[in-house]
Structure 1
Amino acid sequence: MIRSYALSRKVLDIPNQRSSHTVPTPRGGGLAIVLAFMAALLMLFFTSRIDVIELAALSSGLLVAGIGFCDDHGHVAARWRFLTHVLAALMALIFLQGLPLLLLPTPIDGFLNRRIVDLAWLGYPLGVLFLVWLLNLFNFMDGTDGIAASESLFVSLALAGYLFYLDQGLFRISISLAAASLGFLCWNWPKARIFMGDVGSGFLGLLLGLLILMAARQAAVLLYCGLILFGIFVVDATYTLLYRFLSGQKWYDAHCSHTYQQAAKQYGHLKVLLASWAINLFWLLPLSWLVFLHPSHALFGLMLAYLPLCYLAYRFKAGRADEAVA
């Protein structure tokens, strides 16, 4: 239905020099994810399987989806998008009462022991920064067929696996997001028949960030597990942005120099997507499980997970749009 609407209203992604596609393609299909997930969320609430706090916190994603929907139909100034993102993140954190307690290794004993740190009021600005960054990096990474929907499906399913034993409400929420993502992936698998658009990418980025924080309330180590699971997106977006900033480029301009985009130019969308699934399933998922079993090694596990991803960003010259990949 949304694809037919996008075609009739000419809501199309027109190829340009930064594009990874060659033909005009409908965009805004992420609205289907928003509608399906929110319907599931309301069903869970009215059947008393989640509480009003969880419903209210996750519903803040509607603000992000709304501004994304407007941007998909016509340009919205960056400052208004940013303010909306901050407002949505802050609203969610107010309902959740800030960041969860953090699990950190002790400064004296290194990785051998751990301690829980209560961030108090500092949890709000840090939490907003965390959520807004995840929201935007998800938008940055939605540039080749299937990659964003696949990441959402993988992270939400993996979190559901942990939450099944910890909190049935959050487990059901994670499964609902995974199901909505899978439904969209059927339409976005290479070659995509519709693109997600800002309405979906921003919504998913915020929701996955919130799920990680809510999971970390059940077990503090899940903050690290979530960041490990999110590794491909976190490392690629952060490395590329830092490289562009430090090299004096206009880092805020649109570009197509992320690792996955550079790889897609050489190998194509499908091979990059399958490689992402392989990294997720055979590297990041096992490491997150080991960290879950051994929380005292959480920080070490996070660094270990990110190191080869940083090498891949270096190998594919992420951030260097004008250089060919060797």
Structure 2
Amino acid sequence: MLLLSTVTLLLAAVLTGLIRRYALTYKVLDIPNQRSSHSVPTPRGGGLAIVLAFSVAMLWLFFDRQLTGTSLALLGSTLLVAAIGFCDDHGEVAARWRFLTHLLAAIIALELLGGLPVVLVPAPFDALFGRLSVNPGWLGYPLGALFLVWALNLFNFMDGTDGIAASEALFVSSALAGYLFFIDQSLCGVALSLAAACSGFLLWNWPKAKIFMGDVGSGFIGLLLGLLILLAAQQAAVLLYCGLILFGAFIVDASYTLAVRMFSRQKWYAAHCSHTYQHAAKRFGHLPVLLASWAINCGWLLPVSLWIFKHPSHALAGVIVAYLPLIYLAYRFKAGQSELVVS
């Protein structure tokens, strides 16, 4: 595992440098506009390095007999999203084609996965009805598709300041790998490979970023993290709740912002810069926001997820407790509103 992670990290770092040179040569740049968090044209599409390095790691695990063909095919569905993202980074792709590709990738993944896993519903419900297992059956497909497509898109929405998306992926995948180490070594290797690939890219994306991830990376990682959470939940139902908590900073910010924009009758589907982290970055700068994100993840969300991992009966309460301060932050920073007015 250590050798694989090291090779993946180094490969991602080298590939990111090469892709940056390519982007500068062929003018694949993110040009600043009124919605941007940066002020100078910056190369984009560096997430391709994460895709390539991670794919090499998956082939390594497969040929080392640590990954089944079904698992490889399942994770390969993310390449569809990476492909449409790559095209979008080089020339805008219509939103309907992006959405259809995202939906197709989610459906393929769910078909290979067999729908949503059986979910254990913890206290207080089990105190009333006994230990309750919910098998979503055919509903697992629409619910699973909704979860995966939302995970994919929210990650894309949240990729807007230096280092934040790669850091989130590194945190969530590393924490999941820690849990899976005791449950499923093959899935642990997958999660560690993603963490290593994101670490190599982050060397170039840390403030002040020398290259941006682009849609090729953000969509790929968002779908992959959603799949990892579902795959982990197949091994232990409590890991569904752990995953939702670990991913909480992105889930709450993106969901709260979207809800505010919809209920205030804004064009919620249009590009904007009104997420909590974007308002905070305008006020405090990229690096302080990134460090605050790490502090929230490691100092709050990780301990709460550890608690429910050890005490699964507290899972629902743990999700609520984990999310409440994040919802307050979104409220405090006026997420979803165009103008930054902090009370």
Partner-residue secondary structure (3-state), 2:212:
coil
Distance (whole Å) between structure 1 residues aligned to residue 126 and residue 239 of structure 2: 21
Q: Which residue of 2 aligns with 1:94?
A: 111
2:121 and 2:133 in contact (8 A); partners too: yes
Q: Which residue of 1 aligns with 2:198?
A: 181
Question: 1:227-247 CA distances to partner (integer Å, 9 max, x unpaired)?
Answer: 000000000000000000000
**1:262, distance to aligned residue in structure 2 (A):** 0.3
Aligned length: 326
Q: Which residue of 1 aligns with 2:260?
A: 243
Normalised to the residue count of structure 1, the TM-score between the two structures is 0.98
2:184 is the counterpart of 1:167: yes
Q: Which residue of 2 aligns with 1:232?
A: 249
Distance (whole Å) between structure 2 residues aligned to residue 314 and residue 252 of structure 1: 20
Distance (whole Å) between structure 2 residues aligned to residue 174 and residue 109 of structure 1: 31
**1:47, distance to aligned residue in structure 2 (A):** 1.2
Distance (whole Å) between structure 1 residues aligned to residue 337 and residue 226 of structure 2: 28
Question: 1:186-224 CA distances to partner (integer Å, 9 max, x unpaired)?
Answer: 000000000000000000000000000000011001000
**1:325, distance to aligned residue in structure 2 (A):** 2.9
Instruction: In structure 1, list runs of 5 or more residues that go unmatched.
Output: none
Distance (whole Å) between structure 2 residues aligned to residue 18 and residue 197 of structure 1: 15
Partner-residue secondary structure (3-state), 2:122:
strand
Q: Which residue of 1 aligns with 2:163?
A: 146
2:277 is the counterpart of 1:266: no
One-letter code of the match for 1:63? L
**1:141, distance to aligned residue in structure 2 (A):** 0.1
2:262 is the counterpart of 1:252: no
2:279 and 2:340 in contact (8 A); partners too: no
**1:114, distance to aligned residue in structure 2 (A):** 3.8
2:116 is the counterpart of 1:103: no
1:99 and 1:123 in contact (8 A); partners too: yes
**1:111, distance to aligned residue in structure 2 (A):** 8.4
2:216 is the counterpart of 1:199: yes
One-letter code of the match for 2:321? L
Question: 1:139-167 CA distances to partner (integer Å, 9 max, x unpaired)?
Answer: 00000000000000000000000000000
Q: CA RMSD in A?
A: 1.2
Seen in structure 2, the aligned counterparts of structure 1 residues 198 and 248 have a Cα distance that, compared at 3 Å, is same
Seen in structure 2, the aligned counterparts of structure 1 residues 8 and 249 have a Cα distance that, compared at 3 Å, is same
2:85 is the counterpart of 1:71: no
Instruction: In structure 2, list runs of 5 or more residues that go unmatched.
Output: 1-17
Distance (whole Å) between structure 1 residues aligned to residue 129 and residue 332 of structure 2: 33
Provide the identity percentage.
72
Q: Which residue of 1 aligns with 2:150?
A: 133
Residue 279 of structure 1: which of 296, 307, 311 is its match? 296
Partner-residue secondary structure (3-state), 2:337:
coil
One-letter code of the match for 1:194? I
Distance (whole Å) between structure 2 residues aligned to residue 282 and residue 4 of structure 1: 37
Partner-residue secondary structure (3-state), 1:179:
helix
Partner-residue secondary structure (3-state), 1:103:
strand
Seen in structure 2, the aligned counterparts of structure 1 residues 145 and 114 have a Cα distance that, compared at 3 Å, is farther
Q: Which residue of 2 aligns with 1:220?
A: 237
Q: Which residue of 1 aligns with 2:5?
A: none
Residue 39 of structure 2: which of 6, 12, 22 is its match? 22
Distance (whole Å) between structure 2 residues aligned to residue 146 and residue 23 of structure 1: 16
One-letter code of the match for 2:281? A
Normalised to the residue count of structure 2, the TM-score between the two structures is 0.93
1:106 and 1:113 in contact (8 A); partners too: no
One-letter code of the match for 1:201? S
Please say which of residues 98-107 and 49-58 is displaced more in the overlay.
Answer: 98-107
Q: Where do 1:305-320 residues align within 5 Å?
A: 305-320=322-337
1:15 and 1:22 in contact (8 A); partners too: yes
Distance (whole Å) between structure 2 residues aligned to residue 319 and residue 69 of structure 1: 28
Distance (whole Å) between structure 2 residues aligned to residue 70 and residue 165 of structure 1: 39
Distance (whole Å) between structure 1 residues aligned to residue 196 and residue 318 of structure 2: 29
1:137 and 1:234 in contact (8 A); partners too: yes
Distance (whole Å) between structure 2 residues aligned to residue 200 and residue 111 of structure 1: 44
One-letter code of the match for 1:192? A
Distance (whole Å) between structure 2 residues aligned to residue 110 and residue 236 of structure 1: 32
Distance (whole Å) between structure 2 residues aligned to residue 168 and residue 205 of structure 1: 22
Q: Which residue of 1 aligns with 2:54?
A: 37
Q: Which residue of 1 aligns with 2:64?
A: 47
Distance (whole Å) between structure 2 residues aligned to residue 160 and residue 77 of structure 1: 36
* Structure 1 consecutive aligned stretches of length 4 or more whose deviation exceeds 4 Å: 106-113
One-letter code of the match for 1:2? I
**1:113, distance to aligned residue in structure 2 (A):** 5.6
